[in-house]
Structures are given as C-alpha cells and as structure tokens.
A and B are shown apart, each in its own frame.
Chain A
Amino acid sequence: MLVCLLAACQPDTSCRQSINVAAGVVLHGLYVDSLGEASEFKAWDSVTVQGVGSDSVLYNNSYTVSRMLLPLHTDTNLTAYSILWHEEYDTLYIRHTNTMHFISMACGCAIYHLIDTAWVSGMQIDSIKIVNSAVEAVAQDNIRIYVKIEN
C-alpha cells in the first residue's frame, strides 16, 4: 500500500517560475518651453516599440511607460529595437555577450547577457548611457535614454 501511495507522488515536471530576462531601459527627458523653463519627465507617452527582425510589437502606443523591458537575442550578439515616439523613429542598438544559465529541467535554460556597447540612430534621442551592463532575471535599469524637447 505504501508503494502504491508513493507511486502516486509524481515529480513536478511543470515550470512554476516566471522567468523574464530583459534589459531595463529608462527615460530621462527634459522639456524646455518657449519661456525657457525646463521640466523633467521620466515616462514615455504613446510609445511603440518593436524588435528589428520580429513581427510582434512589444509596446503598442503605450502610455506612461517609465521603464521598458527589452528582451535581447539569445543566439546572436546584437539586438536592435525600433522606437516610434511623437511620430518619429529612433533605433536603439545593443551589443552584448550571452551566458547560458540553467534553471531546472522543468523550466529549461535562460540566457543572461552582458551589455558591451549601445548606441542610437535617429533624431529624438540625444544620448544614452549604460548604467548596469548585467542583464539577468531581475528587473533593473540597464540603459538610460536622454531626450531633450524644446518648444
């Protein structure tokens, strides 16, 4: 009877963890009005983000996005995202290395990244800065984008 009871205790083969490895991108914006007064803003409004080479949209006209989570490629060292904001496109490029991290047999592996360099092309983003090069399963700020809007 004990054998039958223990036989009913099958090992759990399903993944119970939520694993999301993505680079955190935050905005530091400066708005200068016609009087020359400056005010800071730190959230995207009506932003659309799509990975270059992917058909799916990550953020579709999203409002008040304070931190974008951008997953990086797991099998290549360069990831690019197209950012549509205020009807203009900018492209964010991230060069990174990949390290496999085994989670469990139920969940498989996750790929952690180390950001090497990042740059942008476009007209709206002034500059970017890598604040934390390690991209792991914990949500954190990795890249800071600086935007200046003058009226």
Chain B
Amino acid sequence: MKGCGKVILFLMLLCGLGVQAQNTDSTMVKLKPVKEHKERHKDGTRIYPDSAIYQGVNVKLDIANSIIEAAVSKGKVLSFEAAMNVRLKHRFFPTLEGGYAQAETFADGGFQKGKGGFFRVGLDINPLKKHPERLSCMAVGVRVGTALQDYDLTDVVVISDYWGVRKENFYNQFGVDCWGEIVAGVQVQIWEGLQMGWYARMKILFTRTAAENKVMPYYIPGFGYRDDTNWGFNYYIGYKF
C-alpha cells in the first residue's frame, strides 16, 4: 500500500506538471503581441488613413513678394500676403490666399496713393505620384483674384496738345479689379510640420477698361502694376496641421 501510494502520488504530480505545462502554453498564446496601430510618421507628423479624403491643412506666409515689391518700388509699395490650402487625397489642394497692400506710385500721367486688400481662390493639383508619407509635392493650378482699394489720383494729365495740357485730381475713388492666374510651384517639408515652398504666377487682368468719366488705379493689390498680363513670385514659409 505504501508503494502504491507513492506511485499514485508520483502520477498525480506528473499530471499536475502536465496541466501546468498546458496552462503555460495557452498563456503564451494569449500573450502573443498584437501589431500596434501607427498614429504618426517617423518624423512625428500625423498619419491619415490612405483612404481618407481630408489629409490636413497648410497655412503659409509669403516673404518673397513683399520684399520684391518693396525693392522694385523703392519702398513706395508695402504688401503682405498669406495662404491656406487643404490637402485632399494627397492630390488636390483647394487654396485661399489673401493680403493687403498700400502704395504710392507715379507715372508720367499722374500720381496714385491708395490702399486695399485682395483675395484669390483656386485649386492646385499635385502631378507627382502620391505617397502618403511624403508631404513634399509639386503644385500646378489656377486662381481667380479680386482686389478692392481706396485711392486718390492726382495731377492726372488731360491730353490736348493744341489747346494746352491740363491736370485733374480724383479723390476718394474706390476700385475693384479682377484677374486670373496660372500658378506652378513646389512645397517641401523641412522638419515635422514645417514647410517651405515657392510659386511662380502668370496673371491675366480682366478689368482693363475704365467706364466713362472714371479712372483706374495704377497699382492693384495682389496683381501689381496695371498691365494686360503680369508675373509674380512667392516664397512661403508654412506649417501643416
């Protein structure tokens, strides 16, 4: 009996170890690590699911155009502009741009002093291959712009070679101008959400003819000096949210 008891006890111990082993295996299966969901890119910026339409918004401030206009006008034109665009499917970028300018300009036919604001709306398209983790892109697009300004025109020459040239003044004028643009540029991610980029613009003025007994401003905020077409260049610093 004592021998049987020892055998039975030994067998019970063996069964217990077996059960313990099985329990351990099932625990190990349960503890198998689950693949973690990535919420951010390697550089810390947020990852949106590739299937999502909305991919973020960029806010940018222009630094080049302000410097160029001040340099060309020798400080007589001061302007600034900012822009915002939304990233859709890594391909489309609806854009809103706006700014303000004040100018004292002159030409042979008169002198203008004015100030006003402008805004442009448009759409950019990234023609490069989409890559969810690369926020740098190229942009080709169109804009429609409108400028509103208050201005004075003084010493405006009234042409009359035979009867004698005289000059007229026009105070407290209000001007509205519209134009279209074709733009191309690059947007590069520098560090985390910080971005820099540039745009080149070809502008086509729509409002070219003054109404009877009306004058038109020489400088248009957001467009530049009045002409049928004009060129522009912007260099932006921005951030992606």
Contact = CB atoms under 8 A, between A and B. Distances in A.
A71 B216 contact: no
A104 B166 contact: no
Contacts of A58: 162
B108 A107 contact: yes
Given A54-B162, A74-B158, A3 B108 contact: no
B109 A6 contact: no
Interface in A77-122: 99-111
B147 to A, nearest CB: 16
B68 A109 contact: no
B112 to A, nearest CB: 7
Nearest to B215: A102
A20 B160 CA distance: 8
B62 to A, nearest CB: 13
A139 interface: no
Contact of B161 (A71, A104, A106): A71
B106 interface: yes
Contact of B110 (A3, A19, A75, A108): A108
A11 B72 contact: yes
B157 interface: yes
Nearest to B235: A2
B110 A105 contact: yes
B72 A106 contact: no
Nearest to A111: B158
A147 B168 CA distance: 41
A39 interface: no
B72 A102 contact: no
Interface string A1-29: 01110110111011100011100000000
Contacts of B51: none
A109 B160 contact: no
B71 A104 contact: no
Query: Which 3 pairs between the two chains have the least Cβ-Cβ distance?
Result: A108-B157, A108-B109, A105-B218
Given A54-B162, A108-B108, 11 more contacts: A21-B159, A99-B213, A101-B212, A103-B109, A105-B153, A105-B218, A105-B226, A107-B157, A107-B159, A108-B157, A109-B168
10 contacts: A54-B162, A71-B160, A73-B160, A100-B158, A100-B212, A102-B215, A104-B218, A105-B108, A105-B218, A110-B159
